[in-house]
Amino acid sequence: MAETPVVSIRGYVETFLPEDQVLVAARARATDLGCRPLGAAAGATLRFLATLLAARAVVEVGTGTGVSGLYLLRGMRPTGVLTTVDIEPEHSRAARRAFAEDGVPTHRARLINGAALEVLPRLTDAAYDLVFCATVGRDFNDYLEEALRLLRPGGVVVFGNALWRDRVADPSARDPDTVAVRDLGRIVRDRADLVPVLLPVSDGLLAAAYQP
């Protein structure tokens, strides 16, 4: 029997849970603003994790137009609060519109404009169930350290774009962004206080439970 091509499997996984009009509209705004939101399968995974954790407090780095925030909020407890950080004001405006279209009460989404590494240190230690870093860059290790400070024991940190357009798995890919993502994977994998998993959904999710 012939094997099913990997691309076909990924396509099936991505469309397994169809997105509603609120998410479709948020994705359209991302295209208009030049954002790169996470895929549907990665979003469904975030919702699953937030549900599994019965999350009441979540931090997101990289608001975008609200795609990942919608998934997180839909998985969190009804009283849960999402704190989401983005340096671009137009992203926050687009996300706020998406949350309103989904009927999210304003007190459940705290949108903060600013550089993540300036905002995160102001948040409370050990007060969050989940931290999601959607951004791609070369400050991943700094994001990881801040995330672990913010997480309660048993909380989960998640990084998006963990396969970085499939370049992370290609040892010949040595551009700075690919190397940074690859190095993050090694750091998370090798830490004794983390229980990691690398999931090949969308452009990859690197998740780890924090067990200090």
Quick check: 35 and 64 in contact, CB under 8 A? Answer: yes
Three-state SS letters, 3-72: CCCHHHHHHHHHHCCCCCHHHHHHHHHHHHHCCCCCCHHHHHHHHHHHHHCCCCEEEEECCCCCHHHHHH
Backbone torsions φ then ψ of 168, nearest 5 degrees: -60, -35
Backbone torsions φ then ψ of 119, nearest 5 degrees: -85, -45
Give the span between the Cα atoms of 105 and 187, in whole angstroms: 37
The predicted structure's pLDDT at residue 192? 97
Give the span between the Cα atoms of 111 and 60, in whole angstroms: 10
Specify the CATH number of the domain 6-210: 3.40.50.150
Smallest CA-to-CA distance from 74 within 108, 110, 37, 28 is with 108
The predicted structure's pLDDT at residue 15? 93
Instruction: Locate the domains of the chain by residue range.
Output: 6-210
Quick check: 178 and 164 in contact, CB under 8 A? Answer: yes
Number of H helices, E strands in the chain: 8, 7
Give the span between the Cα atoms of 184 and 69, in whole angstroms: 23
The predicted structure's pLDDT at residue 135? 75
Quick check: 150 and 128 in contact, CB under 8 A? Answer: yes
The predicted structure's pLDDT at residue 141? 87
Smallest CA-to-CA distance from 42 within 85, 72, 62 is with 72
CA 62, chain centre distance (Å): 8
pLDDT tens per residue across all 212 residues of the chain: 556 676 788 899 999 999 999 999 999 999 999 999 999 999 999 999 999 999 999 999 999 999 999 999 999 999 999 999 999 999 999 999 999 999 999 999 999 999 999 999 999 999 999 999 997 667 888 999 999 999 999 999 999 999 999 999 999 999 999 999 999 999 999 999 999 999 999 999 999 999 99
The predicted structure's pLDDT at residue 6? 64
Helix (H) or strand (E) holding 207: strand 205-210
